[in-house]
Amino acid sequence: MKKTLMFLTACILMLIAPGLTLSAPFLVCDPQAVGVDNYKVEISGPITITQDIAPDPTGTYGFALDLSPLSLPNGSYSVKANATNMWGTSDWSIAYPFVKSATEIPVNIKLVPSL
């Protein structure tokens, strides 16, 4: 179980992992060396969401959580996770901070007639 916690702490948690072919912002974890039956992820900030996530059956990731459907409002968050297998549930990982912010909308757009 300690090994699972170390993997979770070491690999967690990227919002957008470089090189992935995933299109939406995803929270991903590396696959674990020991069998995991379930992950639990808690995202805390302006709102708090707890998600139970089944492990990725392909073994590509420990899990991949699509953040888009969660509709998180803009703000500062922290995310932590734990894992459960037949021997029990690990401690929560160290919390990973992130900020969800709006992209700026273009302003002062002007059309100028060509001469």
Return the number of other C-beta atoms located less than 10 Å from residue 76's C-beta.
12
Cα-trace Rg, the chain: 18
- Name the strand (E) or helix (H) holding 3: helix 2-11
Q: What pLDDT digit, counting tens, does each position of 61-106 carry?
A: 888 888 888 888 889 999 999 999 999 999 999 999 988 887 767 7
The pTM (predicted TM-score) of the whole model is 0.65
Separation CA 16–CA 13 (nearest Å):
9
Q: What pLDDT digit, counting tens, does each position of 4-23 carry?
A: 544 444 444 343 344 344 45
pLDDT of residue 35: 85
Which residues, 6 or more positions from 49, have their beta carbon under 8 angstroms from its beta carbon? 42, 43, 70, 72
Q: In CATH, which superfamily holds the domain spanning 2-100?
A: Immunoglobulins (2.60.40.10)
